[in-house]
Structure 1
Amino acid sequence: MNQNFQGKRFRRSNDSRMLTGVCGGIADYLGIDATVVRLVFVVLTLLGFSGVFVYILAWLIMPAEGEQYSLLEEIVRSFQGKPGQS
């Protein structure tokens, strides 16, 4: 595994966010500018490759910075009756 990625985790960014921080989080993980990731999502959407679907899926499965669980994990935990993040 590349040493640059050891210990890094996909997290939605709090600093580089326009909507939900997905593109900023991916950019932080890859070490590139968030604008590049945003442009990739726009191009994928315009070419019909479901960029919006991928963005929403990433929003659901990527936890935000400083949070233990993703939004989807919180939803599942609430249905299971387990305590959420406080």
Structure 2
Amino acid sequence: MNENFGKKTLRRSRDQRLLTGVCGGIGEFLGVDPNIVRLVFAVLTLMGGGIFVYIIAWLVMPEEGGRSSVLEHIVRNFQGKKSEL
């Protein structure tokens, strides 16, 4: 039996993206409309923390179908190791 069957992973979306796919990926993971997630990020931005949270999410969430996150790619390149996004 497939061990990954029914197992959700948090990844940036390729289909539901406006900028980097963070909100689309969170929406797909939670099973809600990505526009609701975008609205939450907009409110957080007005309150003073949304942009910071969005950038952190973009750095640590791998893209759908990708092998590693942007942050992992940056760290591996800094170490002189080969990395694929």
TM-score (norm. length: structure 2): 0.89
Aligned counterpart, 2:3: none
Matches for 1:1-86 after TM superposition, within 5 Å: 7-48=7-48, 50-85=49-84
Could you tell me which runs of 5 or more consecutive residues in structure 1 were left unpaired when the two chains were aligned. Answer: 1-5
Kindly tell me the number of residue pairs found equivalent between the two proteins: 80
Aligned-residue CA RMSD (Å) = 1.2
Q: Deviations over 1:26-82 (max 9, x none)?
A: 00000000000000000111122x100000000000000111100000000011111
Could you tell me which runs of 5 or more consecutive residues in structure 2 were left unpaired when the two chains were aligned. Answer: 1-5
TM-score (norm. length: structure 1): 0.88
Moved over 2 A (4+): none
Which residue identity does 1:82 align to in structure 2? K
